[in-house]
C-alpha cells in the first residue's frame, strides 16, 4: 500500500473518530447502532471506532437499553474521568482558575481580585501561582492533565497564542502561550473570552443544538462570540467579535472608550455605565438605600451593592439597571438585524444582575430590530452566569480533543 493511501486512510479514520466522539458528546447516552444510523457509518466501523475511543478512556459504557423485543443495546457516554482540564480566565480586575473533568464538571475553583493598574508581570505571576495550585489538585484527583485553556479579553493571535491587544488592560503583544507553557510544561490554548464563552454554550450550555447564535459577554467591556452555520466565526484576521467597540453614538463631547474611540457601545452598556447611572441619581438626592449600604459595608459603589439594593426593591438601582438594559438591547437589535441568529445568549460578570437587565434588553431589542427577522430569536441568560468564560477556557481544550481524538496518545491511568 502506498504511503499516500496509508495517510488518506489515517485521515479518514481520524475524521470518523471525531465524528463518533462528537456524536456521543452531543447525544449521550447513545448506542453503537444509533451512532451508525445517525452518522451513516456501517456498524463494524462504528464498533472499531468506539473501541479505540474506549482504549483512550475518552468514553465508557454506561448501561443497557432495551426497546421492544430487540436485542438490548449497550449505551455509551463521555467518560468524565478521562482527564482533567485547567481553565484560566484573565478578567480586567480578577483572575480565576478552575480544574474540571472531561465532562466540564468543576472539581476545584479559585478566584482572586487583581488590580488592572498593576504591572503586567504581577498579574501574570498571580495567575501562574493559581495554575500551580490547580495542577496540585489535579494530581491529588489522580487525573491525567489534558491541557490548559486561557480566556482573555481583547484580540488574540490563535496560532501563536499571543494576546494582541486588551484595551481595558492596555496589554499589547503578550505571549501568553509561551509564558504559561514554559512555566508549567502544559499544552496551553489561548482564546478571546467571549469566543471561549460561546464555545462553552455550544458544547455544554444553552446552544448545544443551535447552529446560529451569538454570545454577548458583558462586564467591564462587551465582546461577542459568533457561531454561524455551526462554526465559530473568527473573521479575516481572527479578531471578529469586538462588538463593544462598534460605535452607536458619534457626538464629539462624549467620553472616550478605552480603545481610544468615542461612542462605543460598551461605554453605555458595561458595568461602569451602571455605576455612573446610579451615581447620577444619588447626586440629585434621589431616595435610595444605597448610601446606607455603602456606609455599613465601608466599600465603594459596585455592581454587587447595586444588586443588593435592587433585590430590596430600591428604585434607583432598578431604574439604573433597566436603563442599562435599554443600551444593551440597542446593540443586540443591530446583531439581530445583521446576523439573524436563533439565539442571543447574555453572560459574563454582568449576568449577576441579568434578571434586572433582561426585560428591557428584550423589549428594546425586539422594538428596534426588523419584525420580519426577530419573531423567532430567543434572548436568554447564560446558565454559566459569571463563569461563562472560565468554562469557556476549559471548553476550548475539550473542543480540540473532540476535533482530534488522537492527540490523546495514551490511555488515562486510573
Domains recognised in the chain with CATH numbers: 3-78 (1.10.10.10), 82-200+389-407 (3.30.420.40), 208-383 (3.30.420.40)
* Cα 115 from Cα 102, distance rounded (Å): 32
The 10 Å Cβ neighbour count of residue 310 is 21
* Cα 367 from Cα 394, distance rounded (Å): 36
The residues, ordered by sequence, that sit 6+ positions from 73 with a Cβ below 8 Å of its Cβ are 31, 32, 33, 34, 64, 65, 66, 67
The 10 Å Cβ neighbour count of residue 258 is 21
Mark out the alpha helices in 170-302 (DSSP H runs): 176-184, 193-204, 265-269, 271-283, 290-297
Write down the pTM of the prediction: 0.88
* Cα 349 from Cα 225, distance rounded (Å): 15
CA distance to 170, 265, 272, 327, per residue, from 254 (Å): 21, 12, 15, 15
Q: Compute the chain's Rg from CA coordinates.
A: 23
The residues, ordered by sequence, that sit 6+ positions from 279 with a Cβ below 8 Å of its Cβ are 301
The residues, ordered by sequence, that sit 6+ positions from 409 with a Cβ below 8 Å of its Cβ are none
* pLDDT tens across the length of the chain (414 residues): 555 555 578 889 999 999 999 999 999 999 999 999 999 999 999 999 999 999 999 999 987 776 555 567 899 999 999 999 999 999 888 999 999 999 999 999 999 999 888 889 999 999 999 999 999 999 999 999 999 999 999 899 998 999 999 888 889 999 999 999 999 999 999 999 999 999 999 999 999 889 999 999 998 888 899 999 999 998 877 777 777 667 665 454 456 666 666 668 888 889 999 999 999 999 998 899 999 999 998 889 999 999 999 999 999 999 999 999 999 999 999 999 999 999 999 999 899 999 999 999 999 999 999 998 878 899 999 999 889 999 999 999 999 999 999 987 644 443
> What pLDDT score does 5 carry?
59
> What pLDDT score does 260 carry?
64
Per-residue 3-state assignment (H helix, E strand, C coil) for 146-206 = EEEEEEECCEEECCCCEEEEECCCCEEEECHHHHHHHHHCCCEEEEEHHHHHHHHHHHHCC
Amino acid at each position: 500500500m502506498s504511503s499516500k493511501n496509508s495517510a488518506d486512510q489515517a485521515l479518514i479514520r481520524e475524521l470518523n473518530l471525531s465524528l463518533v466522539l462528537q456524536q456521543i458528546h452531543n447525544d449521550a447516552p447513545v448506542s453503537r447502532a444509533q451512532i451508525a444510523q445517525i452518522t451513516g457509518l456501517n456498524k463494524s466501523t462504528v464498533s472499531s471506532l468506539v473501541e479505540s475511543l474506549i482504549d483512550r478512556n475518552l468514553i465508557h459504557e454506561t448501561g443497557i437499553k432495551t426497546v421492544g423485543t430487540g436485542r438490548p443495546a449497550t449505551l455509551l457516554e463521555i467518560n468524565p474521568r478521562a482527564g482533567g482540564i485547567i481553565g484560566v480566565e484573565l478578567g480586567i480586575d480578577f483572575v480565576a482558575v478552575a480544574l474540571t473533568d472531561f465532562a466540564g464538571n468543576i472539581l476545584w475553583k479559585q478566584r482572586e481580585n487583581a488590580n488592572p493598574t498593576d504591572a503586567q508581570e504581577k498579574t501574570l505571576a498571580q495567575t501562574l501561582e493559581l495554575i500551580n495550585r490547580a495542577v496540585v489538585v489535579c494530581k491529588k484527583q489522580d487525573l491525567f492533565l489534558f491541557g490548559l485553556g486561557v480566556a482573555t479579553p481583547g484580540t488574540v493571535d490563535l496560532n501563536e497564542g499571543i494576546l494582541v491587544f486588551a484595551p481595558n488592560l492596555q496589554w499589547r503583544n503578550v505571549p501568553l502561550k509561551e509564558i504559561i507553557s514554559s512555566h508549567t510544561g502544559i499544552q496551553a490554548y489561548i482564546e478571546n473570552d467571549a469566543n471561549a464563552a460561546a464555545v462553552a454554550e455550544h458544547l455544554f450550555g444553552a446552544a448545544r443544538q443551535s447552529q446560529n447564535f451569538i454570545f454577548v459577554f458583558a462586564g467591564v467591556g462587551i465582546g461577542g462570540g459568533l457561531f454561524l452555520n455551526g462554526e465559530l466565526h473568527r473573521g479575516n484576521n481572527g479578531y471578529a467579535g469586538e462588538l463593544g467597540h462598534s460605535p452607536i453614538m458619534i457626538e464629539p463631547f462624549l467620553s472616550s472608550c478605552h480603545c481610544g474611540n468615542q461612542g462605543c457601545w460598551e461605554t453605555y452598556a458595561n458595568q461602569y455605565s451602571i455605576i455612573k447611572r446610579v451615581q447620577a441619581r444619588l447626586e440629585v438626592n434621589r431616595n435610595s438605600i444605597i448610601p446606607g449600604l455603602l456606609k455599613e459595608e465601608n466599600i465603594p459603589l459596585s455592581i454587587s451593592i447595586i444588586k443588593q439594593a435592587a433585590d430590596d426593591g430600591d428604585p434607583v438601582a432598578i431604574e439604573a439597571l433597566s436603563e442599562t438594559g435599554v443600551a444593551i438591547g440597542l446593540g443586540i437589535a443591530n446583531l439581530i438585524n445583521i446576523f439573524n441568529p436563533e439565539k442571543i445568549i447574555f453572560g459574563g460578570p454582568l449576568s449577576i444582575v441579568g434578571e434586572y437587565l433582561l426585560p428591557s434588553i428584550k423589549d428594546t431589542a425586539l422594538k428596534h430590530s426588523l419584525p420580519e427577522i426577530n419573531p423567532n430569536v430567543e434572548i436568554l441568560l447564560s446558565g454559566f452566569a459569571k463563569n461563562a468564560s472560565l468554562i469557556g477556557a476549559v471548553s476550548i481544550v475539550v473542543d480540540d480533543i473532540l476535533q482530534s481524538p488522537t492527540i490523546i496518545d495514551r490511555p488515562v491511568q486510573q
